[in-house]
Structure 1
Amino acid sequence: MDKEELKRHKARFLELLRGTGIDDMDYFIAQLEKSGFFEAPASMKNHLCFEGGLMLHSLNVYEAAMMLKQTFIKERPDIFEKISDESITIAALLHDVCKANQYFRKRGAQVDFGKAEFGTDYSALPIGHGEKSVVMLFQMGLGLEDSEVCAIRWHMGAWSIDRCSSEETGNYRKAEELFPLVTLIQMADTAAAKFTERKYLGS
């Protein structure tokens, strides 16, 4: 991704965040800038493992979520009319904020798309994936609705559940039951990684 493309994606990202109308959004954006979010890759060696990849993936999840909502609202308006566009924006764009300080560039790294050029460092707040994103967002001063908390916490779906914990399994199932946003973000995350972003892997 070149610098101009990165700037365009960042402008779109910030436009969407400010469009939520949340108070003190500029303060939160300043904290997001400091975290390194806009320069971080989406993964170490898989999807969008290049500078700005995390931001691009987050935008792709947002677009996928909005497309899914428009598709399914025709059949289940009772469900999807309850999911606000603002909540989709927050949950989709910020579900992976935990990755902002998770990767570091390797010395002599490859720069081609799809090549491993980053290492992983879990030392900054090692509490998990979705839960770390939620905690970081609160630390940055962003207030979240319960549906947004659950959608971000459980965006990995069953992959993030400790099968040995009946309490965790119960919490996950209840979150899906209470908040359709949870399932929507899970689906959008998968669609973005497996469909939208395949072009960066040459398939």
Structure 2
Amino acid sequence: MTNKETFISIYTNNIKRQGSMELLKYLENSDFFIAPSSTRFHGACKEGLLNHSLKVYEIFRNEVIEYNKNVSGLDKLDDKTEETIAICGLLHDLCKCNFYKESTKNVKNEKTGAWEKVPCYTIDEKFSFGHGEKSVFLIMSYMKLKATEAQAIRYHMGAFDSSFQGGDKSLGNAWNGNPLAVLLHIADLKASNIYGC
């Protein structure tokens, strides 16, 4: 099974909300399945976004299962957890659809000393709306999100999001009241910084 087929299988088996199939069609008509995840860091290659999304889903699912084993009663996450895991894990970086373009850059060949053109990705922002905010906006253009899901996706970048440079306290408030937000951030960090995708 290809990574695209794996993604679609996880998506269709777990996400059943009204509008979810229309959102999947949007993904298939975008560059989601071939786009990079960044221009020069994790997943800076064809299908990098797809690979990153699958890895975040896998790690996030394990984090949520472990969390639920270690808490009791009202602290456990709700009975729709598998759908929530799929939505947050697979779609947290939806903002990167139609965001990059293929280009070239000049790089000095260390052996010859000559400058050579090499392929790269550059950012081609058409709809500037913030990282997590844009993902939430795009998802909610097709299907509803629970408040906890929207918050987790919005804050998955943690303090790496440039909007927190001024000491905004909303990140800490979100993390204090929503374990999903913390667990999604951890999954995103692990996927990009430990596994490199």
Whether TM-score is above 0.5 comes out as yes
Q: Which runs of 4+ in 1 moved over 6 A?
A: none
User: C-alpha separation between the residues in 1 aligned to 2:155 and 2:119?
Assistant: 27
The normalised TM-score by structure 1 is 0.81
The secondary structure found in structure 2 opposite 1:197 is coil
Whether 1:25 aligns to 2:24 is no
Gaps of 5+ in 2: 108-117
Whether 1:100 aligns to 2:94 is no
Deviation at residue 197 of structure 1 after TM alignment: 2.6
User: C-alpha separation between the residues in 2 aligned to 1:149 and 1:133?
Assistant: 9
CA RMSD of aligned residues (A): 2.3
C-alpha distance 51-109 of structure 1, shift in aligned 2 (>3 A): farther
Match of 2:120 among 97, 105, 117: 117
Match of 2:41 among 39, 46, 54: 46
Larger proportion of strand: 2
Aligned to 2:156: 155
User: C-alpha separation between the residues in 1 aligned to 2:105 and 2:196?
Assistant: 25
Does the CA-based 8 Å contact 2:30-2:98 persist in structure 1?
Answer: yes
The normalised TM-score by structure 2 is 0.83
User: C-alpha separation between the residues in 1 aligned to 2:169 and 2:193?
Assistant: 28
Aligned to 1:135: 137
User: C-alpha separation between the residues in 1 aligned to 2:7 and 2:178?
Assistant: 24
The count of aligned residue pairs is 183
Gaps of 5+ in 1: 1-6, 199-203
Give % identity.
30
Q: Which of structures 1 and 2 has the bigger CA Rg? A: 2
1:158-169 equivalences under 5 Å are 158-160=159-161, 161-164=163-166, 169=168
